[in-house]
């Protein structure tokens, strides 16, 4: 009976989290697009606002704890994990771009458009950071951690990674390889939470990657942003370039994901005590 009661409690929490998140996404997305007409701004802020509210409300109602306990403890370990994530995410993207440009496959070229000023670049950087934080709260926050405490690491990582990929099916110019790579990113980011016990490491990975691509002149998940006046022009086909979706829809991203898993395992990451996993006592991976 205890097992059934626990399963019911978990199911209710997950259902409330999903319903509240979807309602928040619809409401905030509609309002933001009506106010701004900007799809990138709407996408990033709607996810951040909806995920913040859903996590904060469920943590307070069901756990009697503040939002910070979902993985935002600002400790020395958390700051190091964030920095490691940023370096790994940006480094992985820049390795791919530099390798492509150094080869016959691609080259940088001036695109003959006015470059964005520093205020615009800073605005995009902040927006992408909020979008990354929002997606991590949505997919690796309360619901994910409750599921992990119940089913174990991969019992949560695998299905949530599938949902992460499905959530990107509406992205501009998405392709099949892009969705497969998004599933791979879901696995990596879920593993990053398990590895660190906080959201700072996956947020760093996510934000670092998201910053590097548009700054290097490559579309990000179908969004093209002219920030520097330069873009990467591909001579190779869409299997290597990802086409209009960007590098995330290419075989190069598939390859770097395979590299990032052992890199992430070998980094000097300090695992923090995860509030929602404390009862289960997850072992260090």
Better-predicted residue by pLDDT, 227 or 115: 227
Residue 26 has pLDDT above 60, yes or no: yes
- Residue 213 in contact with residue 98, Cβ under 8 Å? no
Rounded Cα distance between 280 and 193, Å, is 15
Q: What pLDDT does 120 receive?
A: 81
- Residue 232 in contact with residue 98, Cβ under 8 Å? no
In the 8-state DSSP scheme, what is residue 246?
Answer: -
Residue 271 has pLDDT above 50, yes or no: yes
Global pTM value: 0.94
Domain ranges, ordered by start, for the chain = 2-277
Helices (H), 103-166: 118-140, 142-151, 153-166
- Tens of pLDDT along 91-114? 999 999 999 999 998 888 887 656
Which is nearest to 268 in space by CA: 73, 84, 71? 84
Q: What pLDDT does 284 receive?
A: 39
Residue 283 has pLDDT above 60, yes or no: no
Outline where DSSP puts E strands in 21-143: 106-110
Q: What pLDDT does 279 receive?
A: 53
Residue 17 has pLDDT above 80, yes or no: yes
Tokens 């003959």 belong to 112
Q: What pLDDT does 113 receive?
A: 58
- Residue 261 in contact with residue 185, Cβ under 8 Å? no
Question: What's the chain's average pLDDT?
Answer: 92
């Amino acid at each position: 009976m205890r097992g059934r009661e626990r399963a019911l409690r978990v199911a209710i929490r997950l259902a409330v989290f999903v319903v509240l998140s979807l309602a928040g996404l619809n409401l905030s997305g509609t309002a933001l697009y009506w106010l701004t007409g900007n799809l990138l701004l709407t996408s990033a802020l709607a996810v951040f606002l909806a995920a913040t509210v859903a996590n904060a409300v469920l943590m307070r109602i069901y756990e009697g704890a503040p939002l910070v306990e979902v993985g935002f403890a600002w400790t020395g370990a958390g700051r190091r994990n964030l920095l490691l994530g940023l370096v790994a995410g940006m480094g992985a993207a820049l390795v791919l771009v530099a390798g492509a440009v150094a080869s016959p496959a691609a080259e940088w070229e001036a695109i003959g458009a006015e470059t964005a000023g520093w205020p615009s670049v800073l605005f995009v950087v902040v927006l992408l950071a909020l979008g990354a934080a929002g997606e991590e709260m949505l997919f690796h926050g309360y619901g994910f951690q409750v599921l992990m405490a119940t089913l174990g690491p991969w019992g949560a990582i695998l299905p949530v990674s599938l949902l992460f990929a499905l959530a990107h099916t509406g992205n501009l110019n998405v392709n099949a390889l892009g969705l497969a790579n998004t599933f791979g990113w879901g696995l990596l980011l879920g593993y990053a939470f398990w590895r660190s016990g906080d959201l700072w490491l996956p947020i760093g990975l996510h934000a670092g990657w998201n910053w590097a691509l548009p700054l290097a002149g490559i579309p990000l998940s179908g969004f093209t942003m002219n920030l520097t006046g330069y873009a990467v022009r591909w001579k190779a086909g869409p299997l290597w370039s990802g086409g209009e979706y960007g590098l995330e829809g290419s075989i190069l991203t598939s390859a770097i994901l395979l590299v990032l898993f052992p890199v992430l395992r070998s980094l000097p990451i300090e695992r923090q005590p995860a509030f929602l996993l404390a009862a289960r006592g997850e072992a260090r991976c």
